[in-house]
Amino acid sequence: MTRYTLRRLALGVGQVLAVVTLVFLLVQALPGDAAVTLAGDDPDPARIAAIRQAMGLDQPPLERYADWLAGLARLDFGESLVSGRPVADFLATGLAPTILLAVLTLVLLVPLSIFVGVAAALREGSVLDRVLTSVSVGLHSIPEFALAVVLIAVFGVGLGWVPPTAVGGLTPAVLVLPLLVLLARPICSISRLVRAGMIDALASDYVRHARRLGVGTRRIRYAHALPNALAPAVQQVARTTDWLLGGVIVVEAVFVIPGLGTVLVDAVASRDLPVVQGLAVVFAVTTVVVNLLADLVAFRLAPRSSR
């Protein structure tokens, strides 16, 4: 376990460095000139040159990259080109709503997915199993923005049960529709994995042996079969976390939630490169850490014979 953990940590550090490098290269390749944007509608060449020098844009790319990496090592993401505020301030401003959405989604996602998957597996071939499978396939095929628009039109505008957007503030009622949008597709994919894993586990040799030994049905299902069925689902939860980073951006834009997604969209529109780079680093590190934890949990849950 220790050796596997060290290997995954080393791989994670390499992945973060690769993503950070790629982010820097992509941001530098963006069309246009940030100095020209900041100079105004009728820029003076001397003013543009002064802005470029102040922002360090007149330095060679390798030197800018080295300075940026050195800043990241000190947890210094730089300053906004537009407002002059530290990038960390933008991260702090948008972090709370995004974390709230992501954490609530994951907290609800795991037990609901397990419940749906186990319920379908224990009644394999029944009406309930077929209904859950059909609904899962249907919901999984609907894009997030389309589902969000439908929910807003029906429950926010038509019925008026919940606020359609977060313009009036981020209240518990406002979170209902965004959470439904973020939960719909992941529950479908994860519950299907739990169902398949549970069916395979209940048909395995060790479960049949436990039945012959007189082990109770409830203990067989939830103490023996379920842990082995969860290993692939845990990794799918990690992939869902990756998807959440993109899904939250869409949801925040549709429901006007002032999170990191909104900050990222505004930064890209204004070519605020340090803010874009800082957000990309946060997303990359989050993705690597979540996948690392998921791999360790899945490795722990996997039967020893399969390691």
Domain locations along the chain: 16-73, 95-306
- pLDDT, one tens digit per residue, over 261-294 is 778 877 877 777 778 878 878 877 777 777 777 6
pTM above threshold 0.75: no
Residue 305 has pLDDT above 50, yes or no: no
Measure the CA–CA gap between 128 and 20, rounded to whole angstroms: 46
Residue 98 has pLDDT above 60, yes or no: yes
- pLDDT, one tens digit per residue, over 140-159 is 778 777 888 888 888 888 88
Q: How many CB atoms within 10 Å of residue 38? A: 19
pLDDT of 306: 45
Residue 69 confidence class, pLDDT cut points 50, 70, 90:
confident
Q: How many CB atoms within 10 Å of residue 174? A: 21
Let me know if domain 95-306 sits in CATH 1.10.3720.10.
yes
Question: How would you class 288 by CB atoms within 10 Å of its CB: exposed for 0-12, middle for 13-18, buried for 19 or more?
Answer: buried
